[in-house]
């Protein structure tokens, strides 16, 4: 179901299949460094919002998630968090963020997140390491990627029973092949390679 965010319908106890795309379908995630950013932010969002994640995949210009929010209203909060922090951190790495110039970490200790100081410091350190890796690969004056943006909003579908759930897990699993991801046999950024993030659904 593809509601506009202000008309989004929440169902308590519902699992959701969510799709979100980069602006203009730019293939940022052809670069593994940006996929690492995505996964790191996904891990942190799970710590903050305590949701069950059943499957995910990062594709060249979009991503899919299948998850159960702790509370129904958390659906939009989780997606806003993910999109905001993936954007912030990728732009920090790309050199578009002013935060680098004023010496701030790419992820601030925001309000309710202060109790997770150690986890936030770890991701901040990872972002700095990924930035150095990116500069080594592309140089400080890179022009391979424009400033990162997501397409506005996201598409969600609430899962209607076990068959629907299984079909969406299968859909996510088969997506890299469907989209002809390069070096498919070694593709890393899919739920089957991150057992520590995934809630058992068998």
The pLDDT value given to residue 102: 37
Is 126 among the domain residues?
Answer: yes
pLDDT at 104 over 60: no
Domain containing 175 equals 13-197
C-alpha count within 13 angstroms, C-beta hemisphere, residue 13: 2
Confidence of residue 106 (pLDDT cuts 50, 70, 90): low
Token pair in block for residue 66: 């299948």
Is 168 among the domain residues?
Answer: yes
Is 4 among the domain residues?
Answer: no
Is 24 among the domain residues?
Answer: yes
CATH number at residue 158: 3.30.70.1290
To the nearest whole percent, how much of the chain has pLDDT over 70?
87
For the stretch 38-54, pLDDT in tens is 999 999 999 989 999 99
Strand order, beta sheet including 16-21: 52-58, 62-68, 16-21, 155-158
Number of structural domains (the chain) is: 1
Is 8 among the domain residues?
Answer: no
Is 141 among the domain residues?
Answer: yes
Is 32 among the domain residues?
Answer: yes
Is 6 among the domain residues?
Answer: no
CB 22 within 8 A of CB 28: yes
DSSP per-residue letters across 145-160: S----BPSS-EEEE--
The pLDDT value given to residue 103: 41
């Amino acid at each position: 179901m593809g509601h506009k965010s202000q008309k989004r319908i929440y169902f308590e106890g519902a699992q959701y299949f969510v799709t979100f795309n980069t602006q203009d379908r730019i293939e940022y995630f052809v670069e593994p460094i940006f996929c690492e950013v995505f996964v790191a932010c996904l891990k942190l969002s799970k710590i903050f919002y305590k949701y069950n994640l059943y499957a995910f995949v990062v594709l060249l210009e979009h991503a899919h998630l299948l998850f159960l929010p702790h509370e129904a209203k958390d659906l939009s909060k989780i997606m806003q968090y993910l999109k905001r922090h993936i954007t912030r951190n990728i732009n920090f790495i790309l050199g578009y963020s002013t935060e680098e110039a004023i010496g701030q970490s790419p992820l601030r200790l925001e309000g309710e997140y202060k109790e997770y100081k150690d986890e936030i410091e770890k991701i901040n350190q990872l972002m700095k390491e990924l930035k150095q890796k990116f500069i080594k690969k592309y140089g400080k004056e890179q022009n391979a990627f424009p400033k990162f943006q997501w397409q506005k909003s996201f598409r969600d579908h609430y899962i209607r029973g076990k068959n629907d759930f299984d079909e969406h897990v299968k859909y996510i699993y088969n997506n890299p092949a469907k989209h002809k991801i390069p070096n498919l046999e070694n593709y890393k950024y899919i739920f089957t390679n991150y057992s520590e993030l995934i809630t058992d659904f068998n």
